[in-house]
Amino acid sequence: MKELSLHILDVAENGINAGADRVRISVEEARLDNRLKIRINDNGRGIPADLIQKVTDPFYTTRTTRRVGLGLSLLESAARQCNGSMHVESVPGKGTTVTAVFAYDHIDRAPLGDMTGTLISLIMGYPDVAFEYIHSVNSRRFELNTVDIKNMFDGRPVSDPAVFRKLRTLLEQGLTRLKTNED
């Protein structure tokens, strides 16, 4: 994957395919501590304890359409090559949390990339799932919650052009502000 935001899109979809209707994504850029932490939490059906060791094995997958399962293996190798690590915690019936940590300034760390594109794809592609997004750069924060947006538009669907435009503007402005303001 060329961007970390593509890993986020991929892992968030794992949760939705596991029946989640709430996905919480957080990106923490602690530049002063030279750390980038990504966490994706869902309330899907979770991973049984005996399978959790296998999730990063590229030749293990529960799907039947093909024989390899690369999503989490790719994220783990991306984190490891940047002096980081990936952890998967899961409680069957409650949900799963995937946490990946990277050394912020590592030369092999892929850029975060187009987070707006990732969030738009998730929110539009899965209109029935509630998404929460929290992005922090040092002490600054940006938060977005699709439940708030739906309330703001009085329950109109996210596919409504007005809602879509508002969502995109909120994301673009919020993330640009986060990137450009200095502490």
Partner 1 sequence: MARLTIDDLKKIKEKTAKDTSLRHGKASIKITVHMGTCGIAAGARDVMNSLMNEIAQVDRQDIRVVASGCMGMCSSEPNVTIEVDGEEPIVYQLMDANRMRQVFKRHVLLGEVQTDFALAKM
Q: Where on the chain is the footprint of partner 1 (CB under 8 A)?
A: 1, 6, 9-10, 13, 17, 63, 65-66, 69-71, 74, 114, 117-118, 120-122, 124-126, 154-155, 159, 161, 164-165
Q: CB neighbours of 86 closer than 8 A, spacing ≥ 6? A: 56, 72, 75, 76, 79, 80, 98, 99, 100, 101
**What whole-number distance in Å separates Cα of residue 51 and Cα of residue 91?**
12
Nearer to partner 1, 66 or 183 (CB): 66
Given a contact cutoff of 8 angstroms between Cβ atoms, the answer to whether 92 and 48 are in contact is: yes
Count of residues making up the chain: 183
Closest alpha carbon to 122 in 24, 29, 44? 24
Given a contact cutoff of 8 angstroms between Cβ atoms, the answer to whether 131 and 122 are in contact is: yes
Smallest distance from partner 1 to CB 88, Å: 16
By CB atoms closer than 10 A (0-12, 13-18, 19+), residue 153 is: middle
Question: Quick one: which H or E segment has residue 87?
Answer: strand 85-91
